[in-house]
Amino acid sequence: MKIAVLGGDGFVGWPTALHLSKAGHDIHILDNLSRRWIDTELGVQSLTPMDSIQERTRIWHAETGRRIHFHLIDLARDYELLKNWLAQHRPDAIVHFAEQRAAPYSMKTDRHKNYTVNNNVNATHHLLNAMVELQLDAHLVHLGTMGVYGYSTVGAAIPEGYLPVGIETQTGETVSQDILYPANPGSIYHMTKCLDQLLFQFYARNDGLRITDLHQGIVWGTHTEQTRIHPQLINRFDYDGDYGTVLNRFLIQAAIGYPLTVHGTGGQTRAFIHIQDSVRCIEIALKNPPARGSRVEIFNQMTETHRVRDLAEIVARMAGGEIVWLPNPRKEAAENDLVVKNDKFLALGLSPTTLESGLLSEIVDVARKFAYRVDRSRVPAVSAWTRDIAAKINHDPEGKRLKSVS
């Protein structure tokens, strides 16, 4: 297939583009490179050294003979440019990663909230609008988040997108109906993913677009089979308090002798998936498109759940490191359970990669190799959800200020 990978320069987008290219597809990356600009804004860099997208694709071609084409397009701002590109290339499938993906970044300031809403919602709507205008019958696969469900529990497993409910009629009868699972976003970022859901529901029903929405858990790991082919194909790896995902951050903290920072009680239960499984799930979704005119297909893209404090203890035992307990910058329940159904991907052949010491130690080895690139001042998570919470944030988990005073 000819596949457009929107946001293909990103943390999941890049290994997905490589995976699909290796499988024989004609891959076109559309990206505005905003994630690289955000690194500059935050004064931080990927732990792993990343070449330009042009150099990355050159190395891929040199190593494999396969070409990945790059197109510099801002989906949220350049609607006509996007529409013209789609009209010219008419891809068979579109994988949509082109959204600002960090909850903490979306909560930093009013400017960051505005940027996240404008970028994410406009990008999604521009794409859907253009597909309808061009009568483009491409299968759209969107990378969403488990966070659309929220992290509370009512003692039942979270279904895959739709909740069967009984509605009492005026005559006293009960009729059954499937509704979208009630949205419960925990940040501005998660809210934009909830808005995406509504856009998808409308365009699937109104215009017959074929859409698959993947509600993904937290991604951990760094390497995939394809990124190992050459050092310059390595994936980005975020360790900072805004973009670093929790398990990856613990592993990096252990590798550089930084305290493992657990916020609140650490009783938050999260869903997880390894980066290799993430790209496999996207390929599986592409191979199983919904029929035109059917409802949006929703998969829960995760393989296991863990409490944050349990992860910290696993890493501390494996790689060493002291656990420190800090105020939570997020507005969320101190403790929650999380039971999630992921039957669809398992039925379609996914063999899950679970947390194993070998894979965890591989990440520690990567972190130690590139430890010289770490700016320790960027490690703490300091983006607060409210002004009241901001006043309680610990900006100095290593206690450097106290040590300097003593």
70, amino acid identity: F
Six-digit token pair at 260? Answer: 């493992």
Query: Does the annotation mark 392 as catalytic?
Result: no
Global pTM exceeds 0.85: yes
Instruction: Residue 1: name the closest of 332, 363, 287, 405 by CA.
Output: 287
Q: Could you give the strand order of the β-sheet that contains 297-301, starting from the edge strand earlier in sequence? A: 68-72, 26-31, 2-6, 93-96, 139-143, 210-216, 297-301
Cβ count near 19 (within 10 Å): 21
Q: Which residues, at least 6 apart from 274, have a Cβ–Cβ distance to it below 8 Å?
A: 219, 220, 221, 303, 353, 359
d(CA 250, CA 230) in angstroms, rounded, equals: 26
Measured CA distances, 350 to 29, 357, 359 (Å): 25, 21, 18
d(CA 301, CA 277) in angstroms, rounded, equals: 9
Query: Does the annotation mark 193 as catalytic?
Result: yes
Dihedral sign from CA coordinates of 199, 200, 201, 203: positive
Six-digit token pair at 152? Answer: 């509370």
Within 113-208, strands assigned E span 139-143, 162-168, 174-180
From first to last of its 406 residues, the chain has per-residue pLDDT tens of 999 999 999 999 999 999 999 999 999 999 999 999 999 999 999 999 999 999 999 999 999 999 999 999 999 999 999 999 999 999 999 999 999 999 999 999 999 999 999 999 999 999 999 999 999 999 999 999 999 999 866 778 999 999 999 999 999 999 999 999 999 999 999 999 999 999 999 999 999 999 999 999 999 999 999 999 999 999 999 999 999 999 999 999 999 999 999 999 999 999 999 999 999 999 999 999 999 999 999 999 999 999 999 999 999 999 988 999 999 999 999 999 899 999 999 999 999 999 887 889 999 999 999 999 999 999 999 999 999 999 999 999 998 875 654 4
Q: Reduced to 3 states, what is the DSSP secondary structure of residue 94?
A: strand
175, amino acid identity: V
- Return the residue matching tokens 């973009």: 243
The domain ranges of the chain are 2-391
Which listed residue (48, 116, 124, 145) is catalytic? 145
Which CATH architecture describes the domain 2-391? 3-Layer(aba) Sandwich (3.40)
Which listed residue (79, 105, 151, 189) is catalytic? 189
Please calculate the CA angle 19-220-1 and round it to the nearest 5 degrees: 20
Query: Does the annotation mark 287 as catalytic?
Result: no
Q: Which residues, at least 6 apart from 53, have a Cβ–Cβ distance to it below 8 Å?
A: 9, 29, 31, 33, 70
Instruction: Residue 129: name the closest of 216, 54, 200, 56 by CA.
Output: 200
**Long-range Cβ contacts of 87-92 (<8 Å, 24+ apart):** 87/134, 89/2, 89/4, 89/28, 90/2, 90/134, 90/136, 90/138, 91/1, 91/2, 91/3, 91/4, 91/28, 91/136, 91/138, 92/1, 92/2, 92/3, 92/138, 92/139
- Position 320 scores a pLDDT of 87
399, amino acid identity: G
Q: Reduced to 3 states, what is the DSSP secondary structure of residue 397?
A: coil
Asked if residues 326 and 397 have their Cβ atoms less than 8 Å apart, the reply is: yes
- Position 406 scores a pLDDT of 47
Determine the distance from the C-alpha atom of residue 191 to the mean position of all C-alpha atoms in its chain, rounded to a whole number.
14
Measured CA distances, 104 to 49, 324, 349 (Å): 23, 20, 34
User: Euclidean distance between the first and final Cα of the chain, in Å?
Assistant: 64
d(CA 27, CA 369) in angstroms, rounded, equals: 31
**pLDDT tens-digit readout, 42-99:** 999 999 999 999 999 999 999 999 999 999 999 999 999 999 999 999 999 999 999 9
Six-digit token pair at 261? Answer: 């920072």
Which listed residue (149, 193, 212, 258) is catalytic? 193
Instruction: Residue 263: name the closest of 383, 170, 145, 152 by CA.
Output: 383
